């Protein structure tokens, strides 16, 4: 098949390579002409994963129309804050029944809409939409290091279509109908990874990181359930799996961002140095919107937001969390 992939960052590049290795022709949309020229002439993305030679079946373009012409499916792999803009641009170019998978991880600022809701509001027919999420560092997926992911859709047929499309010997795909649960997990784990990065940046240890991850998982579960998802989704690939990978891996941009914050550096410093987006920086604001909407307390998320956006000192943030009242470990058990 021909597959359109919108976004040539690290994850878009890795997914394009995966799809090409699965015997598909891939049209990879990119913004920068230098990236397009390099991919087409040298089969290398000069900005991301440049050590990997890309398949000859990947052709880069700056035209959405060219990327989608004759395509039998499309993967949208852009930063979450650009998703509405991209969805609006794609809307007149996609057929009503073209399968679309959203691979962005985040919640829209202001509206609090999930990524799939943003895409559906611009392009319609939510049943042909799916989301893909899991412990999938692009640096490992592109090198065929065994990984697993979950593909969620309200339509089983759509989920199964993308399950078969992406599955390979080294990329296992599982399906789910808990779209909201998978999406909230995908956004939430980035915030907890920033918290873990902050803790390591302050010189704290693995015990602290494990506590933050576990209590972060509890926050995640409370919000997922309040928003209509299933708490058990948090124990799967999109929840615990992605949380472990994002909090503990050397590839994790959000953990790295947290460590930079602890050293007194800023979001602008991170962007300039890595050319990447720390999705957790926006997610700590948008998850707060959801938490307030559903009346769910999110203490770790709130502290991370204060550090990122209000300049709260990282050491003070640690004291704020340590000073919270003692309570039962599991919600609803004990006083």
Catalytic residue IDs: 189
Q: At what angle do helices 299-310 and 253-262 cross, to 10 degrees?
A: 60
Number of other residues whose CB lies within 10 A of the CB of residue 231: 18
If you count them, how many residues does the chain have?
335
Which residues have C-beta within 8 Å of that of residue 278, sequence separation ≥ 6? 190, 194, 253, 254, 257, 267, 270, 271
Instruction: Go through 236-259 and write b for each residue having 16 or more CB atoms within 10 A of its CB, e for each that does not.
Output: bbbbbbbbebbbbbeebbbbbbbb
Question: CA 2 to CA 257: how far, in whole Å?
Answer: 36
Specify the DSSP class assigned to residue 164. H
Question: CA 147 to CA 126: how far, in whole Å?
Answer: 27
């Amino acid at each position: 098949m021909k597959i359109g992939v919108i976004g040539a960052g690290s994850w878009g590049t890795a997914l394009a390579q995966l799809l090409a290795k699965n015997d598909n022709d891939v049209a990879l949309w990119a913004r920068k002409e230098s990236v397009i020229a390099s991919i087409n002439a040298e089969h290398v993305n000069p900005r991301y994963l440049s050590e990997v030679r890309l398949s000859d079946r990947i052709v880069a373009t700056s035209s959405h129309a060219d990327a989608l012409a004759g395509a039998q499916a499309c993967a949208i792999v852009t930063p979450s804050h650009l998703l509405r803009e991209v969805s609006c641009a794609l809307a007149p170019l996609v057929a009503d029944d073209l399968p679309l998978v959203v691979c962005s991880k985040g919640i829209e600022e202001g509206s609090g809409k999930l990524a799939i809701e943003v895409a559906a509001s611009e392009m319609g027919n939510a049943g042909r939409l799916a989301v893909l999420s899991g412990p999938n560092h692009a640096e490992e997926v592109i090198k065929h290091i065994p990984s697993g992911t979950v593909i969620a859709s309200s339509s089983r047929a759509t989920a199964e279509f993308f399950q078969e499309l992406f599955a390979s010997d080294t990329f296992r795909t599982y399906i789910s109908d808990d779209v909201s649960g998978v999406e909230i997990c995908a956004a939430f784990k980035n915030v907890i990874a920033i918290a873990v990065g902050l803790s390591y940046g302050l010189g704290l240890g693995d015990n602290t990181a494990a506590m933050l991850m576990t209590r972060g998982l509890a926050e995640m579960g409370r919000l997922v359930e309040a928003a209509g998802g299933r708490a058990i989704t948090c124990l799967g690939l999109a929840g615990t799996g992605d949380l472990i990978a994002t909090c503990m891996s050397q590839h994790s941009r959000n953990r790295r961002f947290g460590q930079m914050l602890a050293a007194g550096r800023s979001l602008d410093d991170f962007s300039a140095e890595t050319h990447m987006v720390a999705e957790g920086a926006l997610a700590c604001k948008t998850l707060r919107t959801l938490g307030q909407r559903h009346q769910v307390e999110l203490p770790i998320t709130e502290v991370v937001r204060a550090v990122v956006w209000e300049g709260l000192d990282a050491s003070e943030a640690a004291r704020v969390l340590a000073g919270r009242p003692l309570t039962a470990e599991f919600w609803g058990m004990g006083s």
